[in-house]
Amino acid sequence: MISRDPKQLFIEARSGSRVALARLLTYVESGGALHRQTVAEAYQSTSPYVIGITGPPGAGKSTLTDRLIGEALSVGGFDGQHPFETIAILAVDPTSPFTGGAILGDRVRMQEHATDDRVFIRSMATRGHLGGLSLAVPDAIRVLGAVGFSVVLVETVGVGQMEVEIASAADTTIVVTIPGAGDSMQANKAGLLEVADLFVVNKADRPDVASVRRDLEQMLDLGGERAWRPTITDTVATDGRGLSELWSAITAHRLFIERDDTFMERRRMRTRVELQRVLSAVVANRVRELANGEAYEAQVARLVSGECDPYTAADVLLQS
Amino acid sequence: MISRDPKQLFIEARSGSRVALARLLTYVESGGALHRQTVAEAYQSTSPYVIGITGPPGAGKSTLTDRLIGEALSVGGFDGQHPFETIAILAVDPTSPFTGGAILGDRVRMQEHATDDRVFIRSMATRGHLGGLSLAVPDAIRVLGAVGFSVVLVETVGVGQMEVEIASAADTTIVVTIPGAGDSMQANKAGLLEVADLFVVNKADRPDVASVRRDLEQMLDLGGERAWRPTITDTVATDGRGLSELWSAITAHRLFIERDDTFMERRRMRTRVELQRVLSAVVANRVRELANGEAYEAQVARLVSGECDPYTAADVLLQS
């Protein structure tokens, strides 16, 4: 029998139990008391290095992620000499209603490494609790860090606000585009420009690669001076072309943010945003609790009879 | 000089000053201390009867609203004998960044009654404060009620979540559609079906009226048994066709909800939702305050150094 106790599960997960790890991730997804114990433990370790990958559906992100796993495990880690021993992938799909690490889909999507012991893949989809994915993903990252993963790939499907939000919580954020995807990029240009550290033009064996590249360069020119100008890498994920260049670009960006002192500043920024999100979620939960019960109905009755205004009623509820 | 004191402004607005009324509405839009005083006063009166009109852009809602004003002021009010002496219109446009009752646009949109003393028209657009329009509109309705308007038309542009939310806070909600608007309706079918008390097929001189009607009837059939089955009225707002039928339908619905005891239940429901919205907004404001300042930065520092998890940090902030 596998334990239900987070502390025990961390011990088991650290010594390699994927079942224990999966259970811890379920805790952070589902909220409740075990969630609190899990994060209290998880946040005692520092965050792993997070690589975010986002872009429109059909851009080939899963295949690209699959190839990146290969690079991370073979080429030589961040220093070019020590390949990572393990790597974790969070595949985030805000549009999908189901979740859970055990679903077949995960394994199928990243075929090459589906049976690789060094690779841990987890799908995360929308749950109705707290702040949903935008809270669960950071928590899951910390759990993965705490059980020994030093690098986590977070792949998000889509280019909506939430996907960008999640991807931008990464240390290195990769925005994937493809020739002919102009419209879907267009809609989010400003947001994507802000979060992208690296651009990838995938499916670069298609026509019009040059024009996508030109668009991106122009976009970057308009964006003004920045300490780090996002690089643009052409890839054909299906046959591995451009992948080693992309891994080099990731490594270069990592070196840049570490050298440039921006690393800690980024983490501090991220922490600031994260805390605000948690704060809002915790408070929203309390509001939901307040909005059920006798005290609430008493205020509703007062309002219906015109005894007070809703702001006064809210104050009364908050003071109780 | 016009007063700045809400109590004084209410007195002036009740004796007919539109400038005083406009200022009170500005208070409810802009938040702050005067907002609190204004709503405290406004909520002492009961709510006026609210007719909500929503539907996709281009459905002719403004012209329809214009015609409904005419019906309300001439035909004979709700009892068929006593026309309303005055009527207020809130034209809500969540996509527009500007606001204010004095803009020319309001007057132009509803030409027929632009210079009619009995008619008060106010545009409301997005403001960045508190819960924005979804709070400001209910507050504005109460202000209008408190200064003597017994009926308020709330016209919302668009069929998004917020428009539907606002429209559904009405006693009678009219969903306007037109022949050929299938797609925009489609996207919100479930939502619209839930909120609509009356359907209007406007521009009914166009081809395909029959098929829109058939679609709506089918939708209603699928919706299952309800105490009130929404009626469908064909109109041509530009020449007034179908308008007296629509007014009759509104009156019939009003009679139904009053007779059926659902009136108070609707108001109670609406009040419940309203209070929850205010509660969330008030709390969100406090969170925003908490997220700025030394205490917050102290918690961020603790998080960055791995001393605690964000949920614990949030608890500490909330207890302070």
Nearest CB partner across the interface for B282, out of A46, A300, A314: A314
Contact A235/A211 with Cβ under 8 angstroms?
no
Nearest CB partner across the interface for A271, out of B44, B300, B314: B300
Strands (E), chain B: 49-54, 87-93, 119-125, 151-156, 172-177, 198-201, 231-234
Residues belonging to chain A with any Cβ–Cβ distance to chain B shorter than 8 Å: 36, 39-40, 42-46, 142, 264, 267-268, 271-272, 274-276, 278-280, 282-284, 286-287, 290-291, 296, 299-300, 303-304, 306, 308-315, 317-318
B13 assigned to some structural domain:
no
**Beta-carbon separation of A308 and B43 below 8 A:** yes
A304 assigned to some structural domain:
yes
| Listed residue (B30, B130, B80, B91) closest to B251, CA to CA | B80
**Beta-carbon separation of B271 and A40 below 8 A:** no
**Domain match, A108 and A168 both:** yes
**Domain match, A283 and A189 both:** no
Q: Compute the residue count for chain B.
A: 320
A19 assigned to some structural domain:
no
Please tell me the pTM assigned to this model.
Answer: 0.63
Average pLDDT over residues A175-179: 89
Interatomic CA distance for residues A92 and A125, integer angstroms: 6
A32 assigned to some structural domain:
no
Query: Among residues of chain A, what percentage have pLDDT more than 70?
Result: 84
Nearest CB partner across the interface for A306, out of B36, B43, B300: B43
Contact A172/A197 with Cβ under 8 angstroms?
yes
* pLDDT, tens only, B226-244: 788 999 999 999 999 999 9
**Domain match, B206 and B58 both:** yes
Mean pLDDT of chain A: 82
* pLDDT, tens only, B269-298: 888 888 888 888 888 777 778 888 889 999
Residue where a domain stops, chosen among A232, A260, A288: A260
Interatomic CA distance for residues A187 and A13, integer angstroms: 42
Residue where a domain stops, chosen among A214, A232, A260: A260
Strands (E), B37-86: 49-54
pLDDT given for residue B97 in this prediction: 45
| Listed residue (A312, A175, A36) closest to B310, CA to CA | A36
**Domain match, A212 and A72 both:** yes
Least confident span in A229-243, B25-39, B244-258: B25-39
B291 contacts in A (CB within 8 Å)? 272, 275-276, 279
**Domain match, B215 and B281 both:** no
B28 contacts in A (CB within 8 Å)? none
B40 assigned to some structural domain:
no
| Listed residue (B146, B197, B153) closest to B52, CA to CA | B153
Interatomic CA distance for residues B198 and B15, integer angstroms: 34
B96 assigned to some structural domain:
yes
A295 contacts in B (CB within 8 Å)? none
Shortest Cα–Cα distance, B194 to chain A (Å): 22
Distance set, CA B131 to CA A33, B134, B213 (Å)? 31, 6, 36
**Domain match, A57 and A149 both:** yes
pLDDT given for residue A169 in this prediction: 75
Residue predicted with more confidence, B100 or B134: B134
Residue A202 pLDDT more than 90?
yes
Interatomic CA distance for residues A69 and A111, integer angstroms: 11
**Domain match, B313 and B180 both:** no
B78 assigned to some structural domain:
yes
User: Which of A276, A296, A315 has the highest number of chain B CBs within 10 A, making it the mutation to test binding with B?
Assistant: A276
Residue A102 binned pLDDT confidence (cut-offs 50, 70, 90): very low
Residue predicted with more confidence, B259 or B118: B118
Number of structural domains (chain B) is 2
What is the CATH number for A54? 3.40.50.300
B276 contacts in A (CB within 8 Å)? 287, 291
**Domain match, B212 and B146 both:** yes
User: Which of B10, B134, B275, B290 has the highest number of chain A CBs within 10 A, making it the mutation to test binding with A?
Assistant: B275
ipTM for the complex shown: 0.74
**Domain match, A248 and A282 both:** no
Give the helix/strand (H/E) hosting A301. helix A294-304
The encoded tokens of residue B261 equal 């005891």
A280 contacts in B (CB within 8 Å)? 284, 287
**Beta-carbon separation of B311 and A271 below 8 A:** no
Average pLDDT over residues A175-181: 83
Residue A97 binned pLDDT confidence (cut-offs 50, 70, 90): very low
Residues belonging to chain B with any Cβ–Cβ distance to chain A shorter than 8 Å: 36, 39-40, 42-46, 142, 264, 267-268, 271-272, 274-276, 278-280, 282-284, 286-287, 290-291, 296, 299-300, 303-304, 306, 308-315, 317-318
Residue B88 pLDDT more than 90?
yes
**Beta-carbon separation of B267 and A315 below 8 A:** no
**Domain match, B142 and B219 both:** yes
Collect all residues with Cβ–Cβ distance below 8 Å to B251 and sequence separation of at least 6: B78, B80
Nearest CA in chain B to A289: B276
**Domain match, B297 and B246 both:** no
A23 assigned to some structural domain:
no
User: Which of A46, A277, A290, A309 has the highest number of chain B CBs within 10 A, making it the mutation to test binding with B?
Assistant: A309
Collect all residues with Cβ–Cβ distance below 8 Å to B61 and sequence separation of at least 6: B53, B54, B55, B155, B157, B176
Interatomic CA distance for residues A133 and B255, integer angstroms: 46
CA dihedral B219, B220, B226, B231 (to 10 degrees): 150
Collect all residues with Cβ–Cβ distance below 8 Å to B310 and sequence separation of at least 6: A39, A43, A271, A274, A275, A278, B303
Interatomic CA distance for residues B145 and B48, integer angstroms: 5
**Beta-carbon separation of A275 and B286 below 8 A:** no
**Domain match, B205 and B86 both:** yes
Mean pLDDT of chain B: 82
Residue predicted with more confidence, A182 or B109: A182
Residue B100 pLDDT more than 50?
no
Q: How many CB atoms lie within 10 A of CB B312?
A: 18
Interatomic CA distance for residues B208 and B182, integer angstroms: 11
| Domain membership of residue A285 as a residue range | 276-319
* pLDDT, tens only, B305-314: 888 898 899 9
Tokens 């052409």 belong to A234
Average pLDDT over residues B140-152: 94
